[in-house]
Amino acid sequence: MEKKYSRSIFRYVFEFYAAGFAGWIYEVSVMWIMFRKYENRGILHMPIVPIYAVGAFILLAVLRKKRNPLFLFIFSALLTTGFELGASYLLEFLFHQEFWTYSTWPLSILDRSCVISSAIFGVMAVAYFWMLRPVSGWLSQKLPEKLCIVLSVIGIGALAADLAISVSELIKER
C-alpha cells in the first residue's frame, strides 16, 4: 500500500465497518423491539449490514463534507430511500429472494422502504458526518501508519472472505 494512501484507506475501511455495524445494530434492535427475538439481519457472517456502509459511501461521494444537519437529514433520507428501493429490487433479481419488507409498517413505500426508516437513515447520516467522520479522521492521523496498513489489510481481507462465503451460500439457496 502506497504511504500517502494508507491513512485514507484505513479511514474508509474503518468507516465501512462502523457504518455496517451501526446498521446491524439498528436492524437487530428493530427485530427485538417488534418481535422480541434476536435475528441476524445481515447477509454476512460478521455483524455488518453492507447496505448501510454502501449508503454512507454514496452520501460521502455526493456530499463530500459535513453540511448543515437539517439539510443533511432531509437530503440523506431522500437519497438513502431511493438507494434502499433500488437495492431491494437488485438483490431480489440477483438472488431470487426478498431480503426485507416493510409491508406491515405504517407509511410503507412500495413495501421496500418506509418513511420511518427513511427518517432513521437521515439521523444516521447526520451521525456519520458529524461524529464518525471526525473520529475516523482523528484515528487515521493518530495511529501509527504501519498499524493503519495492517488493520486495513486485515479488514479488507476479512470482508472479502466473508462476502465470498456469504454470496456463495446465497447462490446455493437460489
pLDDT in tens, 150-173: 999 999 999 999 999 998 998 887
Q: How far is Cα 62 from Cα 85, in angstroms, rounded to an integer?
A: 18
The pTM is what? 0.89
Q: Is the pLDDT of residue 101 over 60?
A: yes
Q: Is the pLDDT of residue 1 over 70?
A: no
Residue 113 phi, psi (nearest 5): -155, -175
DSSP string of 65-99, one letter each residue: S---HHHHHHHHHHHHHHHHHHHHHHHHHHHSS--
Do the beta carbons of residue 151 and residue 123 sit within 8 Å?
no
Quote the domain boundaries for residue 135. Answer: 3-173
pLDDT of 2 reads 53
Instruction: Show the cell assigned to 78.
Output: 431522500
- How many domains does one find in the chain? 1
Q: How far is Cα 21 from Cα 109, in angstroms, rounded to an integer?
A: 25
pLDDT in tens, 21-74: 999 999 999 989 988 999 888 889 999 999 999 999 999 999 987 789 999 999
